[in-house]
């Protein structure tokens, strides 16, 4: 039953269904509204298996936080992820922390994908969303990427796969 729930949740997200609380402060961009601040949530670290609170994602030594949602069942996610990881490595030097959140995947499925694509867990923040926490961000389909200030204020939401180049993000470092 739990597996069916996960698939239904993922299908709803891919299909574009939005679940937003009326009490949230919203950010509007391109006619779409979603939460304007980094939400309260808990995710599991793929590397350590420890629970990570979203509030812990922001660190004093980082200028921006990039949060990327993806899944192993999403073909465009699988093409985009290695490119975004490469871009995130150069952004790291500029003070941008990147977090990659896998939706409704089992740990072993993600690890198998990462090994097959020669992506190391070392130095990369992979988190697992097994409880549907993505809805707290306002995620409607995947892949989706959010860019937050060091104060946790949403600066930009990127919907769909992108050709990730540092310039997409570095312009927000100057604001």
pLDDT < 70 stretches in the chain = 1-35, 175
Q: Is the CB of residue 68 less than 8 Å from the CB of residue 83?
A: no
How high is the pLDDT of residue 59?
A: 86
Instruction: Enter the pTM of the model.
Output: 0.80
| Domains of the chain: residue spans and CATH | 2-17+27-170 (3.40.30.10)
How high is the pLDDT of residue 13?
A: 43
Among residues 71, 63, 67, which one has the least CA distance to residue 38? 67
How high is the pLDDT of residue 145?
A: 96
Structure tokens at 79: 């093409």
- DSSP states along 40-88: P-EEEETTT--EEEGGGS--TT-SEEEEEEE-TT-HHHHHHHHHHHHHH
How high is the pLDDT of residue 43?
A: 96
Output DSSP code: residue 30: T
How high is the pLDDT of residue 35?
A: 61
């Amino acid at each position: 039953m739990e597996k069916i729930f996960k698939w239904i949740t993922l299908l709803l997200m891919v299909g574009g269904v939005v679940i937003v609380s009326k009490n949230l402060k919203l950010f509007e961009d391109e006619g779409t509204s979603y939460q304007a601040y980094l939400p309260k949530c808990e995710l599991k670290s793929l590397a350590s298996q420890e629970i990570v609170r979203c509030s812990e994602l922001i660190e004093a030594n980082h200028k921006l936080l990039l949060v990327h949602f993806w899944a192993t069942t999403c073909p465009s996610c699988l093409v985009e992820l290695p490119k975004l990881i490469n871009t995130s490595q150069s952004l790291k030097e500029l003070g941008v922390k990147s977090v990659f959140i896998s939706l409704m995947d089992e740990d072993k499925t993600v690890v198998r994908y990462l090994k097959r694509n020669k992506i190391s867990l070392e130095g990369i923040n992979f988190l697992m969303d097994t409880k549907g926490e993505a809805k707290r961000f306002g995620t409607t389909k995947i892949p989706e990427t959010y860019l937050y200030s060091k104060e946790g204020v949403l600066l930009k939401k990127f919907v769909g796969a992108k050709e990730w180049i540092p310039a997409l993000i570095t312009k927000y470092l100057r604001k």
